[in-house]
Amino acid sequence: GQQVMQIPQYQHVQEGEDFTTYCNSSTTLSNIQWYKQRPGGHPVFLIQLVKSGEVKKQKRLTFQFGEAKKNSSLHITATQTTDVGTYFCAGDYGGATNKLIFGTGTLLAVQP
């Protein structure tokens, strides 16, 4: 069945360093979404990527969708303590599948 792998599971950085998390799907996605969950909180939508090769930026966050629509990445430039949390990708396989499959998430810890 469909599966979304996400790496790394955990990343510890010094404030100001960059951070990247990667998602890979075994099959082609209709679109991919990214969510952030702060400790003790609930997932909050960040962005959705739909087109092959799409790149979107939100301030210090850069999101990419692979050409084959099977992988995606989230890159944070110059991390801040407010970036702490777990970042999830979620793959939409569309069509009859009609499921949103979440990756296992990457927990980001930022040391001031």
Partner 1 sequence: KAGVTQTPRYLIKTRGQQVTLSCSPISGHRSVSWYQQTPGQGLQFLFEYFSETQRNKGNFPGRFSGRQFSNSRSEMNVSTLELGDSALYLCASSERGFSGELFFGEGSRLTVL
Closest CA relative to residue 23, chosen from 6, 42, 3: 6
Residue 102 interacts with partner 1 (CB under 8 A)?
yes
Q: Which residues, at least 6 apart from 96, have a Cβ–Cβ distance to it below 8 Å?
A: none
Residue 45 interacts with partner 1 (CB under 8 A)?
yes
Q: Partners of 74 in the beta sheet? A: 21, 63
Q: How far is the CB of 84 from partner 1 (least distance, A)?
A: 17
Please identify which residue in 11, 21, 25, 33 interacts with partner 1, judged by CB under 8 A. 33
Produce one character per residue of 25-43: b if its CB has 16 or more CB atoms within 10 Å, e if not.
beeebebbbbbbeeeeeeb
Please identify which residue in 30, 62, 73, 77 interacts with partner 1, judged by CB under 8 A. 30
Q: Please give the Cα distance from 26 to 105 (Å, whole number).
A: 17
Please identify which residue in 43, 49, 64, 66 interacts with partner 1, judged by CB under 8 A. 43
Stretch of residues binding partner 1 (CB under 8 A), selected from 14-22, 51-59, 60-68, 86-94: 86-94
Contact positions toward partner 1, by CB under 8 A? 1, 30-31, 33, 35, 41-45, 48, 88, 90, 92, 94, 97-105
